[in-house]
A and B are shown apart, each in its own frame.
Chain A
Amino acid sequence: MARRRRADRAIAKQTPDAIHLVARLGSLLSELGLSGIEVTVGDVHVRVERTAGSAAPAPSAPGAPAPAVADVAPDALVTVEAPMVGTFYRASSPTAEPYVHEGDAVKEGQVLCIIEAMKLMNEIEAKVGGRVVKILVENGQPVEYGQPLFLIDAQR
């Protein structure tokens, strides 16, 4: 099975200016009827998202939860999202140990998981270091582009 490294798209840490920015983005979200806004100001990058599923009559993704992802908490919780469609695996093979567990410390660039697509195993790396607070998907679960996979506390 071929391996291919893929960098993950992550969100940088915060400053107090970011909180104000977030509040403004939050109201813009409603005003414009958008589902998400992402802004980079200087070295602050903020993303505000609305909960998925406004009047949706059908389930929206293959088994994915619909989390309210608002990366605005002062404790700098960072969401690692799937950069591609495929099947999520916690380890490099069925018999290997998972790359990470909840509670583990991880470094920037460390492999967190595999997403397999068309028989190609893509290593997904952490773009920031920190502690893995939560693993949001199950081993072998199909994931879509942008689906939240891990919550990492970037300050610990």
Chain B
Amino acid sequence: MFHKVLIANRGEIALRILRTCRELGIRTVVAHSTADAHSLPVRLADESICVGPDDARSSYLNIPAIISAAAITDSDAVHPGYGFLAENAAFADVCRACSLTFIGPMPEAIRLMGDKAQARAIARDAGVPVVPGSEAPLPGPGEAQRVAERIGYPVMLKAAAGGGGRGMRVVREGEDIGQALAACQSEAGAAFGSADVYCEKFIEGARHVEVQVLGDRNGMRIHLGERDCSVQRRHQKLIEEAPAPALLPETRAGLHRAALLAAGAVNYVNAGTVEFLVDPDGRFYFIEMNTRIQVEHPVTEVITGIDIVREQIRIAAGEPLGYRQEGVRFEGHAIECRINAEDPDTFVPSAGRITAWVPPGGFDVRVDSHLAAPCVVPPFYDSLLAKVIVRGRDRAEAIARMRRALAETVIEGVKTSIPFHLKLLSDPAFASGAAPLLSQASGATPPLSQATHDPSRPHGTR
């Protein structure tokens, strides 16, 4: 087992990783920016090291600085958390070259699944249904038109180097696909360093359902069930739950099998998530694989009783999986709300100073948060303040418990998304469990049942 782990991340996930390291008897070092110098994870860690200024590019994304920090603190492993360098194959390569264990998958798997067009091909070759679309990046408007006509409008143009909901646009019948392609290629080149764009059928009314997988170095792989992340706004997941409601048993089983096939195709090791779209008829299609731990991992932990971060660390240390598939049990229903520092109506981020923080508690309520009032919410990173996770014996009880928990949550000093979450949770469409994937545009908060599926803001995110 590792003696010391460097946590190359911040906020709630840094604290999450720190806690499990503590329980495993591992010493912790948090690498942080100047803005996070007084944050809770930094204060709780055994050691901390400032790796750069506020700007993420110079700190959390600064590979030489992170590696140097690991070297001078004699860390034997690095946990990259999510975001930042978590899916950076080059970073994983450098770790390997420096004999620093990267707590995550092999660089090859990150690379293969990182190219979203290639990931589709890998999944398809493994026998996993994929969203109908182009097999390779589109060479030009002529091919884009042909593919769109073959698979049928509406279609989605996606950046191969994108993912997580970025670099996508929908093209409907009658629209100029050549122009859309050119715009998409240009944006992709600027944002992701590659102008490769592929095309997929845009499935209306689909749900976003993802499957958690875990693999060890002996080639054993299991799934930990699925999560539904259909409630989103502008690529941001707002509410996640496990298990996914309203799935036919054969769809659920099919999703689990397909996820293991996709993971197996890249000999996946450590924790990962395979994302699918499920259409209103229960057919599912692979969209992408996330080669990292995800923000919403707690909903899976809470219904399985399995500490995913602990498994990540054990697997990276060479230990075999702690569970066999038959030993994985699912009990109850879990929901997570991501509480963000933002205006609940306009969704404009609201950085500032937290003067009061009273987290919810009680039976089957879990809070993952780095807040410790008074503290500053810096404007340089994402606006996630806290994840509130509840479990209920069934979905209705979980919803009621979440409403109770959010109602007692106090966050003063910044605006939060709590009022918006409460509205969503009261919406009958949400309560029915059959609400399709939605991604709301900014503006006044429409209830779920009236929310329009914004075609320019499709699905999928961290």
Contact = CB atoms under 8 A, between A and B. Distances in A.
Interface in B47-68: 47-53, 59, 64-65, 67-68
A118 B66 CA distance: 10
B44 interface: yes
Contacts of B48: 58, 60-61
A34 B376 contact: yes
Contacts of A41: none
A60 B34 CA distance: 12
A142 B374 CA distance: 31
Contacts of A117: 64-65, 67-68, 71
Interface string A27-55: 00000111110000000000000001011
B42 interface: yes
A120 B67 CA distance: 12
Given A145-B50, A146-B50, A86 B68 contact: yes
Nearest to A55: B43
Given A85-B69, A85-B72, A118-B67, A61 B45 contact: no
Nearest to B38: A35
Given A62-B47, A144-B49, A84 B38 contact: no
A52 B43 CA distance: 11
A145 B66 CA distance: 11
A101 B51 CA distance: 27
Contact of A61 (B38, B50, B67, B376): B50
Interface string A110-137: 0000000110100000000000000000
Contacts of A62: 47, 49, 72-73
A89 to B, nearest CB: 12
Q: How large is the interface on B (under 10, 10 to 19, 20 to 34, 35 or more residues)?
A: 20 to 34
Contact of B46 (A32, A33, A58, A144): A58
Contact of B43 (A33, A34, A36, A57): A57
B47 A35 contact: no
- Candidate in A35, A54, A58, A87 with the most chain B CB atoms within 10 angstroms: A58
Interface in B218-277: none
A2 interface: no
B38 A32 contact: no
Contact of A118 (B34, B43, B50, B68): B68
A56 B51 contact: no
B376 A145 contact: no
Contact of B45 (A33, A35, A58): A58
Contact of A144 (B38, B45, B51, B64): B51
A145 B59 contact: yes
Nearest to B354: A33
B295 interface: no
A59 interface: yes
Contact of A52 (B37, B45, B53, B69): B37
Contacts of B34: 36, 145-146
Interface string A47-83: 0000010111111111000000000000000000000
- Candidate in A36, A55, A61, A118 with the most chain B CB atoms within 10 angstroms: A118
A58 B43 CA distance: 6
A142 B6 CA distance: 15
B353 interface: yes
Interface string A1-43: 0000000000000000000000000000000111110000000
Given A57-B44, A145-B53, A33 B68 contact: no
A118 B72 CA distance: 10
Nearest to B49: A144
A35 B37 contact: yes
Contacts of B47: 58-59, 61-62
B65 A54 contact: no
Contacts of B53: 145-146
Contact of B51 (A52, A87, A145): A145
Contacts of A146: 34, 50, 53
Interface in B113-130: none
Interface in B90-116: 98
Interface in A86-123: 86-87, 117-118, 120
A29 B175 CA distance: 54
A6 to B, nearest CB: 12
Interface in B166-221: none
Contact of B72 (A55, A57, A87): A87
Contacts of A144: 49-51, 69
Interface of B: 34, 37-38, 42-53, 59, 64-65, 67-69, 71-73, 98, 353, 374, 376
13 contacts: A32-B353, A33-B376, A58-B47, A60-B37, A62-B47, A85-B52, A85-B65, A86-B72, A117-B71, A118-B64, A144-B69, A145-B65, A146-B34
Given A33-B374, A58-B46, A120-B64, 17 more contacts: A32-B353, A35-B38, A52-B37, A57-B44, A58-B44, A59-B47, A60-B48, A61-B50, A62-B49, A62-B73, A85-B49, A86-B72, A87-B72, A117-B64, A142-B73, A144-B49, A146-B34
